[in-house]
Each structure stands twice: as structure tokens, then as C-alpha cells.
Structure 1
């Protein structure tokens, strides 16, 4: 039997009393064996097995940067994709009219695209050579989502990879989603507050730090231009992008691969990354502030080997916060706000008072 961690006073105060009920000995013995019996691992479906086999066979790592290189896990023939350029062009022209009518949105959109170009997340699509000219391509319509609650970048460009082509099939239709590797949210939240010192962090641009192999970039193309008078430019994503059916799997599976490859050098961080990650959010707790200092440093170092940067660190321990580089912490406006409120995994967490709460918007009266 494993040891049970000490529960903090706040958690103890919420426990309710239970009465004792006597049960027949045969019922108790049966229950004992049911509890002690090892639970069999869930059986993966054939599609999930195929997807993971493909990942292991095609994933590589750049020896210089340490970045992982993956491929798109197709579940159907790519030739089932029909014409997509004209559809994406019509969608972009509609978006462009909106951008021209809203200068602030146009400026924000241009800024994101410029960042993508500067960081080589996207680049102009090459002219198809003879070896690739017979392969189909997929041009993805896109739009912007403005998040008023974001502390940093408020505009996120979302790719609509579910847009149907002329054949009635979309890119997402022909991709594996992969096995569900998402952690159990309820367990993560419980473990996040089981010890006195709590920490959270965010993996910056998690998808975009994973390289897409060259042959599959033709299925990640978008149209854009900075001025309506300029010709449309066809770009392609060089990285895993937001909006693809397979992208969440790529992100979480690659974290697993990182732990497998480099975890022995960072044992504390590896355990946390394996159990406390919910997509790009990490939430965990430790017994003492010194443990939090050591764990955060290990996590930053582990993720850095794959060119991932853990940012927006927050904690209910000032000792832990003082140990984290300023560039990796939440912005001062949020960190030093009087209420010290921070959103974690859909909940709001007040680091100063150390409690969870929900924000509810009053419903407007008709």
C-alpha cells in the first residue's frame, strides 16, 4: 500500500463526518479484492494504434536545436482531398473586408502574421517541383479569435481545417485524431491543492515549437496579404498548427517523447510533466517552497531542451516566485494586482487568499 500525503488544513476543514455501517464479512472480503485488483489498461482501437505506430516511425529530433519533427497522421488517402484554393480565397476576401473595416483588428492580425514569418513558423509556399506536382494540397481558411481575458496576446489566428474541399472531404476528415492523452482534469485539480505550495505555468506556443516535416507542409497552407492592393501570397506552416485534428495529440505525445528521451536527467520534472499537464497548462503542488524552487527550475530546463518555454509562472509562495526569472513570470499587471487572481484550467485562483472561484457574467435582461 502506498503512503497517503498529508492534507492541508483548508482541505481538512471541508471534510464531512461519516457513520460506520457494519457489513457481512463476505461482502467486506469481496470489496477488498475488488479494490486491490489491478485495473487493466484500456484497449486502444486499431486507429489509435496505427496513429501511434506512425508517430514512432516518423518522428525525429533536430540534433542542433532539439526540436521534434513530426508528420501528419493520415487515416485516408490524401488524394481524396479536392480543390481547396478557391474556397480559401473566398473566405479570405470576406475576412479582409472585415479587417479593413476594423483597423485595430487589421493591425493585430498583421502583427501575428509578421511574427509567424519572422520566427519562420510560416514561409511562402515553394513552387511545386515535378516530384510533388501530382500531390494534392490543402489551403486552410482562417479567422481571428479575440480573447479579452488573455494577459498577453489577445488575438489568436484559428485555422479551419474542417473546411470541405470540392470533393466534400476536409483535411481533418482524413487525419487521425490519435489516442486521448489528456490528463484527468479532476485529478490534476485535486493534486494541485493537495500540498501547501501550489505552482502553475503555461507552455508558450506549444504547437508552434514542433516542426512539421517538409513533405506534409503542403497540407498546411494559408492565404494572406498585408494590403488589398497586393497579390495574394500562399504561405505554408512549417510547424504544427492550431486547428488540426491531430495537433493536440502531437503536442501531448511529444511531451511524452521528451520525458522518455531526456527525463532521466530531470527526474522531478519528468514526474510532474507526466501527471500534471493539461494541454499547455501545468498545475502541481509540493510540500515546501524549496521543493517548488527546485521543481520549477527542472521543468524549465527539461522543456527548454525541446525549445519549449514555460512562462506565466504563478504560485502562492513568494519564495518560489522570487526564484523564477522575470521573463518567465506573469506580467506585473497581473502578478501584483491586489486580488492576485489567476485563471487556471478554467477556474480562477486567488493566489493571495489561495482559493478557487468562478466568474459568472450576469445574464442580460430582455
Structure 2
């Protein structure tokens, strides 16, 4: 590890504690934390742009508001009063990412890399990223295919399940409408948990999970949990159905002790899938294909595949395609139809 990574890990170990069953951590700050600007004016300007984009479809504006209200009710964020007299305040910009999904058509993204100007640092500039504690993707994929019974699950709203200590919360403020039908009245919020978008968030989640697993006696199930997570995704394979069912039982119990929920369980064992569906923990994809580390996994046939790349054929895309092919192939081994264009 680099000296910066070692420092971030040491700071994490010194700061993590459990409050009412929830782990709380502090942000791994660099020395120039005090240079972080308030950012309120830029935040208000970006908010107007976000509202304008959302108002093009009224449904999206309401959904955006519902997401924020849901996070408030779940305790992931809290309301605050704007007080410009305080020095330790920073406002985050946020924007919608519209997805082709019937269940979650909008995701709110918080821009922790936004700067007020070229000289001012962003929140991410002031934070250490921390060391990566996840297994290599190749290793995880090989272990996913190693034994007969493959399994995958996700932690629901994983980053938000790690609390943020009060001393750092005012650096994660943001503003939104009190009422989606009234653009003049604004409400300030701040995060009570680790936000998705901060450069250190994956490190804080991984370190919290590792810390939590280390509090349990060694067992095959706990060892599996310690080595088979890629950020918030549990991915691996087991040799028997007995070990598969045992993992499900132990993992749910262990994660619930940290107020985390393991959902979207899926396996190539149909009996297991039926059981977790009855428990309410099965996948909601509604398809034979689920995503595993960027690949498509058909859990019924137990095949992995890559989603085909599609693009609009234009003179520009043809040139880009030929340019990239030239970096990989000798032009004389290209198909005849491409040799002529070459």
C-alpha cells in the first residue's frame, strides 16, 4: 500500500464505531480540508437546471422527490437549516440519471467532484480514495465457475447502510424543493450515511464489511463472505446444496447484525431459487438473465455471455472502428469487405 492508503486505513480503524446497531465512519480527509468552499451558489444554479430537466416530464419530478423523501424516512439523510455563519459546510450538486427501467426509471447522482472554480477543490479532491480491498475481477469470475452451485446476491442500498459520523455530515449537504409544486421554497439536507459518489465510498464500505466479518468466529460461511464480495455484490460458487443453503442462512443473519439487507439472491439451483423467492429475497429481474460483474448470466442454463455492442453506422463510426481494428489486427488479415475500406 502507498503511505496515503495506509493512512486512510489507519484512520478508518481508529474512527469506526457502532451506534444503535449501525456502523458509523468518518471521511478520510487530506490536509487541505479547510479550503473546501461552501458551494451553495453553484448548488442553487445546478438545482434550477435539474428542475428544468425533470419538469419536461412531470412524472420524473415526482419520482425524484419521492426518492429523497424515502431516503429521509429511512434515516439516510436528515433536514438542516441553512446557516452561512458556519465554516464547516459544503453543498453537493446532484442530477438525475434516467434509466430504461420500469422499477427504477431515475437514479440520483451526487457530484462530489464538482468545483466552484478552477482554484477551489472539490469534495473528492479533499478525500483519500483509500486502498482497494476487493478481489480481482478475474479471480472472482474463476471462483464463480469453480464449483457446481453458483450464487449471487446484492446488499440493498449498500453505501447508505454505513453511517457517517456527525462531525463530517455538514460537508455532504444538498438542497431540494420542500414541495415539488413550489420552486421558491427550498429545503437543505445532509447525509447521515456514506454517499454514493464520494471517491472514498467503496473503500469505506469494503472496510466496514471486513471489520464486521472479523468480529465473527471463523467458519466456512464467514470465510466465503470475507473473500467473495465485489463492493456490494456477493458472487461465488459452492460444492454442495447443503453449503449453499447454509450460506444463505448465515449471510442473512450476519449482515442483518450490521443493519444490512442481502437481496436479489439467485443460483443455478432451481430449488434454492424457489425457496429464496418464497422468503422474499429472490431476484426481481423477471428474466433468465441477470448481471454478474458486467456479464450476463443465464442462471437456468448456467451460461455467461457478453451483451452485444450496437451502434448507429455512420462514416464516423466506420472510421473509429477501422482505427481501433488497426491497433489490434494487421490490415491484411481483415475481412475482404474491410480491406477495401482500409
Q: Which residue of 2 aligns with 1:327?
A: 280
- TM-score by length of structure 1 reads 0.81
Mapped partners of 1:61, 1:52: distance in 2: 17
Write the deviation string for residues 111-134 of structure 1: whole angstroms up to 9, x where unpaired: 211111111211112465xxx955
Shift of 1:146: 2.6
> Where has structure 1 moved over 4 Å in runs of 4 or more?
none
Matches within 5 A, 1:31-50: 44-50=1-7
Contact 1:81 1:165 in 2 (8 A): no
Asked if 1:114 is matched to 2:69, the reply is yes
* 2:199 is the counterpart of 1:245: yes
CA distance, structure 1, for counterparts of residue 265 and residue 136 of structure 2 = 21
* CA displacement at 1:299 relative to structure 2: 1.0
Verify the 8 A CA contact 1:269 1:302 in the aligned structure 2. Answer: no
> In structure 2, the residue corresponding to 1:362 is in which secondary structure?
coil
CA RMSD of aligned residues (A): 1.8
Query: Residue 314 of structure 1 contacts residue 321 of structure 1 at CA under 8 Å; is this kept in 2?
Result: yes
Residues 217/141 of structure 1: CA separation in 2 closer, same or farther (3 Å cut): same
Aligned-pair CA distance for 1:141: 0.3
Match of 2:39 in 1: 84
Q: Secondary structure at the match of 1:188?
A: helix
The 3-state SS of whatever aligns with 1:191 is: helix
8 Å contact kept, 1:76–1:175:
no
SS at match of 1:231: strand
TM alignment of 1:337-356, pairs within 5 A:
337=287, 340-356=288-304
Aligned counterpart for 1:163 among listed residues 92, 97, 114: 114
Q: Distance in 1 between matches of 2:310 and 2:181?
A: 41
What are the equivalent positions in structure 2 for 1:1-366 lying under 5 Å apart?
A: 44-62=1-19, 64=20, 66-126=21-81, 133-148=85-100, 152-165=103-116, 167-225=119-177, 226-261=180-215, 263-264=216-217, 267-324=219-276, 325-331=278-284, 334=286, 337=287, 340-366=288-314
Provide closer, same or farther for how the CA distance between residues 105 and 85 of structure 1 changes in structure 2, counting only shifts above 3 A.
same
User: In structure 2, what is the Cα distance between the partners aligned to 1:119 and 1:107?
Assistant: 18
Q: Residue 214 of structure 2: SS of its match in structure 1?
A: helix
Instruction: Point out where structure 1 has 5 or more consecutive residues left out of the alignment.
Output: 1-43
Alpha-carbon spacing, 1:57–1:151, altered in 2? closer, same or farther (3 Å): farther
Instruction: Provide, for residues 226-246 of structure 1, a one-character-per-residue CA deviation record: whole Å limited to 9, x for no partner.
Output: 234441111101111111011
The TM-score normalised by the length of structure 2 is 0.86
Q: In structure 2, how many angstroms separate the alpha carbons of the residues matched to 1:82 and 1:71?
A: 19
Q: Which runs of 5+ in 2 are unaligned?
A: 315-342
Deviations 1:64-98 (A, max 9, x none): 3x210001110123211124000111001111111
Offset of residue 183 of structure 1? 1.4
Change (3 A) 1:83 1:170: same
Distance 1:151 1:249 in 2: 31
